[in-house]
Amino acid sequence: MGQPEPQRNGKWLQDALQQAIMLELATLPPYLCGLWSIKDPVRDKAVYDAIKAIIMDEMSHMGLVCNMLTTIGGSPRIDHADLVPKYPGHLPGGVRPQICVSLSGLTRASLDMYCQIERPEDPVAEFEEPGESIGAFYSAIRQAFKQNADLIQGHRQVEKDMEDEYGLGNSLVPLSTPKAVDDAIQVIMEQGEGSHSSPRNPYFGREGELAHYYEFRQILQGKKLVEVPTAPEGWAYEGCPIAMPDAYPMGTVPRGGWAQEPTYRPDPEVQDLLTNFNQLYTEVLRGLEKTWQTDDQTQANHALGEAAKRMRDLKRPARALMQYELPDGSGQTYGPEFLYVE
């Protein structure tokens, strides 16, 4: 983002898109830990479904950005230890540099962190907070595409129709024209931040769905964000109450994993679950990289399908880990580490 706009050439665009892929990936582990920590997804269905929908959006965003990178001749790097996000740590791309992103269960503190990640430059019904937002990052990418539209060639485009299952805007579509790229960036920005005048998500899977920031914010506030004509911007957190879900008290994973802290060192049973989870997570990353390495659509779909299956498999060991208390007497539990396995 520090590069002057006139100098944002094809090389800058490829580097920025690689960072955007890692940015979308970086949001998934903290959101998944929050989702999986909800004890009763049926009782707390509204909150569970809202967080799950956001996660599915982020996965789609990652796929769309991979298509953006390959359409200009680049190749996504996902299966690399030096690139995979580390926790606690900062977001890729220079986005919200003041935030330290960590892994823990669903709490008011973790919800506040999710809000900080998704926060627009000028949120509706709230004061403005400085710092480069995800939307500002994508705006820069959008402008760079306009300046380098001739680079769009339609190489290695992965297609997958997911709108019926996950909602509008969630399909992976070929980005072979400047308009298609611009439309995809619009989906990513509005699903995450809404618009300057409305918190609504126009590419929704559930009726009345808000952009990611506002979905998280209303859970944190404990009330739905609704239209209020007398409010300064026409919206206020004055709707129906939203109960905070009962969640497993997953502790904050130390950098490098639980075994790095002597007081948290897992016993063999817990370590087996951690190892199983980390291996599955790494297989997800390997499958995603393979998806965008082939010109054969059938092979790409197979690799993507395998990655999606491994992603679903992560839930079992993650939930199992949350049944084991940390040995420090805090009452908190273990949880997934999301560590890359060489």
Counting every residue, how long is the chain?
342
**Residues 35-45: what's their mean pLDDT?**
98
Burial class (CB in 10 A: 0-12, 13-18, 19+), 159: middle
**Residues 333-340: what's their mean pLDDT?**
98
Per-residue pLDDT tens for 44-64?
999 999 999 999 999 999 999
Q: Are 65 and 137 in contact (CB under 8 A)?
A: no
- 185 closest CA partner among 150, 133, 145: 145
**Residues 115-130: what's their mean pLDDT?**
75
Beta bridge mates, 247: 38
Give percent of the chain above pLDDT 90: 81
pLDDT at residue 186 in the model: 94
Confidence band for 169, pLDDT divided at 50, 70 and 90: confident
Residue 226 has pLDDT above 70, yes or no: yes
- 41 closest CA partner among 54, 55, 57, 52: 52
Confidence band for 254, pLDDT divided at 50, 70 and 90: very high
- 241 closest CA partner among 111, 46, 55: 46
Confidence band for 99, pLDDT divided at 50, 70 and 90: very high
- Alpha-carbon span 229 to 252, nearest angstrom: 41
Total-model pTM: 0.94
- Alpha-carbon span 62 to 69, nearest angstrom: 11
pLDDT at residue 294 in the model: 93
Q: 78 is written with which tokens?
A: 């996902």
Among the four given CATH numbers 1.10.287.110, 1.20.1260.10, 1.10.10.10, 1.10.260.40, the one describing domain 5-247: 1.20.1260.10
Confidence band for 131, pLDDT divided at 50, 70 and 90: low
Residue spans of the domains in the chain: they are 5-247
pLDDT at residue 158 in the model: 95
